[in-house]
Structure 1
Amino acid sequence: MESQLVFMLSKQLPGQAESTKTDYSDPASLPAVLVVILNYRTPNLTIECLHSLVNEVKDLPNLRVAVTDNNSGDDSNERIAGVIAKEGWEWATFMPLERNGGFAYGSNFPIRQALAGGSLPPYVLLLNPDTVVRPGAIRALVEFMEQNSKVGIAGSRLEDPDGTPQCSAFRFHTIWSEFDGGLRLGLISKVLSKWIVAPPVSEVACTTDWVAGASMMIRQEVIEQVGLMDEDYFMYYEEMDFCLQANRAGWPCWYVPESHVVHLVGQSSGVTNTKKPPKRRPKYVFDSRYRYFLKNYGSLYLVIADIAWIIGFASWRLRRFIQRKPDEDPPYLLWDSLRNSFLFRGLRLNS
């Protein structure tokens, strides 16, 4: 059974979001935070992530953690629940789910429970299981949000274990970014630089279109106004879609580099794991891309975006062959892009 989650947290009053007078010297006065970690067959990583939160809980006494499991079918339930019980982590709750409904489904579940129980805290932090939270990372996000009451979403600086920064603040995908991402030609990239999805990593806090869901803090009012993440995305594009909806509702997104979080990229899906040779992209990646463009920009935009990507990528593949460049693309990417485009799928949102 999908367990119920009840948080002993007082619901935020409407006026509190405007206050910037929090007494940071008193941890107990800091707002409550719900951290949501979704596990899928990564119990070792999830447990390591939980260990990294121990000191965060000491620094933020009102922090609670909900670990959901998307029906992993392995020993995740016993191991994670066992560690929580053994360590006496009263701040952590484990929630096994009955099916694998994807990232949005598994992440939304405890938030929906908190909403239904009237105990949604002022902030929700989506946190990947393949992360290790550096000391003070969550507090840095909370303090930033408290000092900037009009900001709806804030993301951490994601980094490798050695501290090398990863791209974690992005621009929305567009027709131009699709063409550039496929073509990969330096001169064109310079011309289209303002549309490139992953700009250079900023060393200072800055506004951005969207941040990686590996460590993304959301204000309570955003969830109440915009709703939860779209569960028709299985994996990928759901956090970008959510940030877009928040942006359209007047809630900007910011990147906060003072919040450091180690991210062991792609450990659950393997799709974005840069430490191994690329594997064929699963269909759900193409489904998510298709849904994002059609839902948010309409059928004509999707058609042009598909054409832009295919022409750009086909040109790159030809140039790569002529110039004998190494092939670092996922297998069958051109064919998979074609068969998942409007040419084969048509223009139906739920196709």
Structure 2
Amino acid sequence: MNEPTVLTVILNYRTPDLTIRACEAAMREMQDLPGEVIVVDNDSGDGSVERLKQAAAAHGWDAGGRFRIVESGRNGGFGAGMNFGMRAGLSDGSAPDFYYLLNSDAWPDPGCIRGLRDFLVATPRAGFAASAVRGDDNAPHLTAFRFPSAAGEFEAAARTGPISRLLRNRIIAPPLPRTRTRVDWASGASLMVRREVIETTGGFDETFFLYFEETDLCRRAAAAGWETWYLPEVGVVHIGSASTGMRKWKRTPQYWFDSRLHYSLKNHGRAYTLWTTLALIAGTLVWRLRQLIRHKPSSDPDGFLTDLIAHSLRRTLARTPASPTPAAAFPEDSR
């Protein structure tokens, strides 16, 4: 029996220096594994492709057909870029057994890619395996989650001890598991995906530009019987939000509100979407009251509450959920 193959997919959008570092780590970890590394450039338009090609030549990555750079031709967001890379498959035209999705600002530790792959090989019902993620300051990142709910959104926005204790079983981002644990969904920063999951679900819904696309994919996979697991014993270092600038948001971008709304409408319908939005508004008001009492500045982006209300009023009644990307868009294994 042949050893299972892995296609590592790295998405670049105007982060060539970070992407080169991610490639260095990925190529190191893939050297003893059958498969390839593919970098998808999402129409950066900043000379990224040329710099990546120069780095590939300098490191000798492009020798032996183990490394490719492809251009998607548009900036369709995270899911669209990853779909493009997965559709490309291996250089011989076949589909790999597993796809490893790696952020351009993430660098796998020794044994990470192999550990995720071997877990999926040994766990037939597992469709996803996510590694631990930590910052360059060694602080752990919360990357294993429950599916969003009205109670969960209220708790997350309120950020208040008594409420969190009352709703502890609804917390969307609970404390990280210390052992291998089945979770609802996991971050796509370092995520191994079984090929059959992509064939079954059709991959990422490209209606999402950024955010909620992994949540939606894991939810559709769960409905089809696939499990998502978090493995704390393997990990990556992740800078975080290098392409999106989320840490420096002064104002929440429109695409975040669009993605949140599309996820909720698609998976829960209009009535529950309204309920979750009201819960988020109520939780934010609780947090604002606490900050007012403590005389502390708001930690939310400027205008978050008014932007949320305006977006909800403008879009909830007008928007209908879009259909996911059809599974036929992805190649079947031709080996």
- RMSD (Å) for aligned C-alpha atoms: 1.8
Please list the CA deviations of residues 143-202 of structure 1 after superposition, one character each: whole Å capped at 9, or x if unmatched: 111111111111010012243321111111101011112222210110101111111111
In structure 2, the partner of 1:336 is 307
Are positions 1:105 and 2:80 aligned together? Answer: yes
Asked if 1:45 corresponds to 2:1, the answer is: no
2:330 aligned partner: none
Q: In structure 2, how many angstroms separate the alpha carbons of the residues matched to 1:189 and 1:117? A: 51
> Does residue 217 of structure 2 align to residue 214 of structure 1?
no
| Cα distance in 2 for residues equivalent to 1:293 and 1:117 | 39
Identity %: 43
1:56·1:138 contact (CA, 8 Å) conserved in 2? yes
Residues in 2 aligned to 1:343 and 1:58: alpha-carbon distance in whole angstroms: 51
One-letter code of the match for 2:229? W
The 1:87–1:117 alpha-carbon spacing in structure 2 relative to 1, beyond 3 Å, is: closer
Q: Given that residues 261 and 316 in structure 2 are in contact (C-alpha distance below 8 angstroms), is that contact kept between their aligned partners in structure 1?
A: no
Structure 1 residue aligned with 2:47: 75
How is 1:117-132 mapped onto 2 (pairs within 5 angstroms)? 119-132=94-107
Structure 2 counterpart of 1:286: 257
For 1:35, what is the secondary structure of its paired residue?
strand
Aligned residues: 319
Cα drift, residue 57 of structure 1:
2.0
Q: Which residue of 2 aligns with 1:244?
A: 219
Distance in 2 between the 1:118 and 1:252 partners? 28
- Aligned residue identity for 1:46: T
CA distance in 1, matches of 2:175, 2:51: 39
Preserved contact between residue 32 and residue 122 of structure 1 (Cα < 8 Å): yes
Identify which of 324, 330, 333 aligns with 2:295.
324
Q: Which amino acid aligns with 1:174?
A: S
| Poorly superposed stretches of 4+, deviation over 2 Å | 113-118, 161-164, 342-345
Equivalent position to 2:272, from 298, 301, 321:
301
**Does the alignment pair 1:167 with 2:146?**
no
Task: Give CA deviations for 1:201-257 in whole Å, capped at 9, x if unaligned.
Answer: 112110000010001111011111111100000000001100000001000100011
Q: How big is the shift at 1:347? A: 4.5
Q: TM-score when scaled to structure 2? A: 0.91
1:342, distance to aligned residue in structure 2 (A): 4.2
Distance 2:280 2:308 in 1: 8
Instruction: State the Cα distance separating 1:117 from its structure 2 match.
Output: 7.9
Note the C-alpha offset of 1:115.
9.1
**What is the aligned partner in structure 2 of residue 57 from structure 1?**
30
Give the Å deviation of 1:75: 1.5
Aligned AA for 1:336?
D
Matched, 1:89 2:61: yes
Provide structure 1 residue ranges, at least 5 long, that are not aligned to the other structure: 1-21, 23-28
Matching residue's letter, 1:38: L
1:349 and 2:320 aligned: yes
**Is residue 169–residue 211 contact of structure 1 (8 Å, CA) maintained in 2?**
yes
Write the mapping of 1:264-279 to structure 2, written as runs, cut at 5 A.
Answer: 264-271=239-246, 273=247, 277-279=248-250
Contact 1:243-1:253 at 8 Å conserved across structures: yes
Shift of 1:341: 1.1
- Corresponding position: 1:158 with 2:133: yes
1:110-149 correspondence runs (5 A): 110-114=85-89, 119-149=94-124
Distance 1:207 1:190 in 2: 22
Higher relative contact order (Cα pairs below 8 Å, separated by 6+ residues): 2
| Contact 2:105 2:242 survives alignment (8 Å) | yes
Amino acid aligned to 2:82: S
Question: What corresponds to 1:30 in structure 2?
Answer: 3
More divergent stretch after superposition (323-332 vs 185-194): 323-332
Distance 1:51 1:299, change over 3 A: same
